[in-house]
Structure formats: C-alpha cells, structure tokens
Structure 1
Amino acid sequence: MYRFAQDLQEGIILRRRNRFVMDVLLDDTVVACHCPVTGRIGDLVFDGVPCLVSTNNPRRNTAFTVEAISIDADRQWIGIHQGRANDFVAYCLDTDALPVFPSSKHVEREQVVASSRLDFKVDGVYMEVKAPLTELFVTPLPRFERRAVTRPIETERLIRHLETLIATLPETKRAVLLYVFLYDAPVFTGNPNRKQDARIRQLIRDAIADGLEIWQLNCRFTVEGIVPLNCFETTLHFK
C-alpha cells in the first residue's frame, strides 16, 4: 500500500466555489479546501458529496486538499488528486507492482523532451501518465445532482504529450501511455465526446505499430492510502 503521511479526514463538500476551492464541512466547521482538479470532475454538482481531505502546509491559503469523493451505492472512494496519481505510480515502480515494467532498475521523473515534459523514463523507455476525471465510470446515487454538459472535453494538452511520447519511438522502439484510475474502473477505451477524438485515435493507432503500448492501472483508495488492484494492457482496444 502507498501510505499517506497521515490518515485522511472525511467530510462533506458543500459547494465548489471555483476551479481551485471547495467548501467542505469537517466535523462542525466549514473549511476552504484546495481542489486539485482545475477542470471538470464528471458532470457533478458538488452539493452534499462525501469526500476525503488531507492536511496541507498550514501557511497555505487552503489548509486542506480534497483527495477523493464518493458518489455510488458501494461508497467507493474515487481519488481525484491527479498529482497523487504520479506519486502512486512511482511507488508502484519502486515496489515492482506494475507488470508493464516488472523489474524496473532506473526510474527518472519529469523528463523534458522537446518542448514538453513526460512523466517518467523507465530503463530508457518513456511513459506518460493520465488520470481521466472528465468522465467518472460509476453510477451516481440519484441524490447527487448532475449538470448537463454540452461543451466538448478539451484535449490540446493530451495531444501535445501524446505527440511527444510518440516522437521518442524511433530511438527507444517502445513507449507507454498509462491510464491511472484511483478507483476500480472498467476498461477505458477513450472518450468519443472529446474534442479531436478522431485525431487522437489515429495518432494512437499509427503509433501502436511503432511500439506504443496502452496500459491501465486500477486502485482502491482508502483513508490510509492507495492499494493497486490490477494493471493490464489495453493496446488492443485502441487498434
């Protein structure tokens, strides 16, 4: 298990004030918490959603960060801290818990390639980590309000990172796009509603022939930490 520095606290989100701040009821006190996701989190209206929060540096404007939410009948925690996903992947690499790299020897993070930055370089192979949150693959309880979404999901950053990752293939002959879900999600095959979806799928299909692999990592999120559930290759689903 990837353990947090201290156990998380459970609270209730009262509202998402803006892109960066959520008001959360902790015990009997309303506190402003950092929201680690600047974009959409599913199509949820954050009113009465259970959450887990971590404690930040008290000198920050927001003393807490919302780490996870729960919206389904199974009360599964869904991790929403995308930066936490990279730390968790680093832990999995260090403990040989990722079959995509079963016995990694040399791991480097935040590698600058061209004008972009890729998340990992593992034994000479580049890996980009994505933690999709614009769509949540659980069935929310009826009491959680959902907002009608008409605008497409923005994907410019994904395309830039994907093109950079693919550009490493002539030299390395292998590259990995790892989708991380900080909960137990079904097999992810992309999102047809996203902007430029056809272009993204074509980029991936062309690159698979040159050595691009697509993998998925599912987890269980708890107040103590994150447990890897399964990691499996999904390349065939993108061909």
Structure 2
Amino acid sequence: MYRFALDLQEGIILKRRNRFVMDVLIGDTVVACHCPVTGRIGDLVFDGVPCLISTTNDPRRNTAFTVEAISIDADRQWIGIHQGRANDFVAYCLDTDALPVFPYSKYVEREQVIGTSRLDFKVDGVYMEVKAPLTELFVTPLPRFERRAVTRPIETERLIRHLETLIATLPATKRAVLLYVFLYDAPVFTGNPNRKQDARIRQLIRDAITNGLEIWQVNGELSREGIRLIRCVETTNHFK
C-alpha cells in the first residue's frame, strides 16, 4: 500500500469558494483548503460533501490543508481527486513492480520535458502520460447531494496537447502508454462523449494504437491511511 505521510482527516465541504479553495468544516472549525482540481468535479454542488484532507507544514503554502478525496455514494467509498497524488501512487506502484504495464521497471524518470510540453513518466525508455478523469464521476450520488446541469462542453485542449506529445515519441520508441488512473473503483473508461473535440481525440488514439500506443487503467482504493491497488488492466481494445 502507498501510505500517506500522515493519516488524512475527515471533514465536510461547506462550499467551493473558487477554483482553488474549498471551505471545510473539521470538527468545530471551518478552514480554507486547497482544491487540487481547477476544473469541474462531476456535476456536484459542494454543499455538505464529506471529504478527507491532508496537512502540510510547508511555509510556502497559503493553506496547510488539501482536499484529497470526497464521498457521495451509498457505499461511502472515497473518490481521490488529487492528480499529483495519483502520479505519486503510480510512481510507488512502478517502484514495487505492481503494474503489469511495466512489470519489471528498472529506470523510472518523472516529468519529462518534450518540446514545449511534458509527460509524466519515462519508464525504461518508454513514455507514459497519466490522466485522472474527474469531470464525470462513475458512482451514483445520494439524493441529498445537489447537482448542477452541465451545459458547457468539457475543455480538452491540454489533453490533446499531451496526447499529441505522447504520440510524437512513437517513431523513436515504438511504444507509448496512456494511463487512466481512478482513485476509486471505476468501470472501464472509454472516454467522454460530452467533451469538446471528442471525435478528434478518439481518432488520434485509434490512429496511434496501430503505431504502438497502449491504453491502460489503474483503479485504487483510497483510505485515511493510503491507497491500495485494486487492479491494473489494459483497455486498448476498448478504444479501437
């Protein structure tokens, strides 16, 4: 298990003040917490949503707290929302040879600059980009959680840029990996038809698969103590 430096604390999100800050009730105190997702998290209105938060003593931070996970379904499973944490979890799994996508990795490098972009990992010479989709949550929220109507498409320019960068490495490496990470037990992810330029993204992936692009999915179970790997499966055939 990937373990947090300190056990997470449980709280209640009272509101999302802006893209970067959530007001969270911890015990009897309301604290400002960093929100690690600048975009939409499902179609939720954050009013009374249970959460887990981490703490830090970093003096450079505006707040000592970060919202790491939320819970909205009857099973009360935690949904991790921290992209950086997802990358750290992947790094841990690579170091412990827990991922069949790279079962015996020897040389793991992070944050690889390619042109004007960067990719999350380079593993034994093969580039891998990690994505943790959160604009759609694959759970059934309890009725008490308010949801807003989704009227605008999901912006995907950053995804396209990273995907094109990843694909551009194929002529030299003959293999590249797009890894979708869900810090909860999500079904097989095959994309989101509501996103802007979805057809273009799907075509980019289909064309690249013939040249060596692989799609994999990792599901993890998040608790107050850490993250446990549930499964890692190849999903390339779902994108053909």
One fold, TM greater than 0.5? Answer: yes
* 1:88-237 paired onto structure 2 within 5 Å: 88-237=89-238
Which residue of structure 2 lines up, in the alignment, with residue 17 of structure 1? 17
Distance in 2, matches of 1:214 and 1:58, equals: 36
Displacement of 1:58 in angstroms is 5.6
- Superposed CA deviations along residues 214-233 of structure 1, whole A, max 9, x for unmatched, are 00000100000000000000
Aligned mates of 2:100, 2:134 — CA distance in 1 = 24
- Where 1:109 maps in the other structure, the secondary structure is strand
CA distance in 1, matches of 2:143, 2:172: 51
CA RMSD in angstroms, aligned pairs only? 0.6
Q: Secondary structure at the match of 2:94?
A: helix
Q: Distance in 1 between matches of 2:204 and 2:57?
A: 41
Percent identity between the two aligned chains: 88
The separation in 2 between residues aligned to 1:53 and 1:202, in whole angstroms, is: 38
Distance 2:158 2:99 in 1: 25
Distance in 1 between residues matched to 2:213 and 2:171, nearest whole Å: 11
| 1:91 partner SS | helix
1:32 is matched with which residue?
A: 32
Q: How does 1:20-99 map to 2 (within 5 A)?
A: 20-57=20-57, 59=59, 60-99=61-100
CA deviation profile, 1:37-72 (whole Å, cap 9, x unmatched) = 000000000000000000022633212000000000
- Structure 2: distance between partners of 1:57 and 1:183: 27
CA distance in 1, matches of 2:57, 2:143: 36
Cα offsets for 1:67-121 (capped at 9, x unmatched):
0000000000000001111011000000001000000010000001121100000
TM-score by length of 2: 0.99
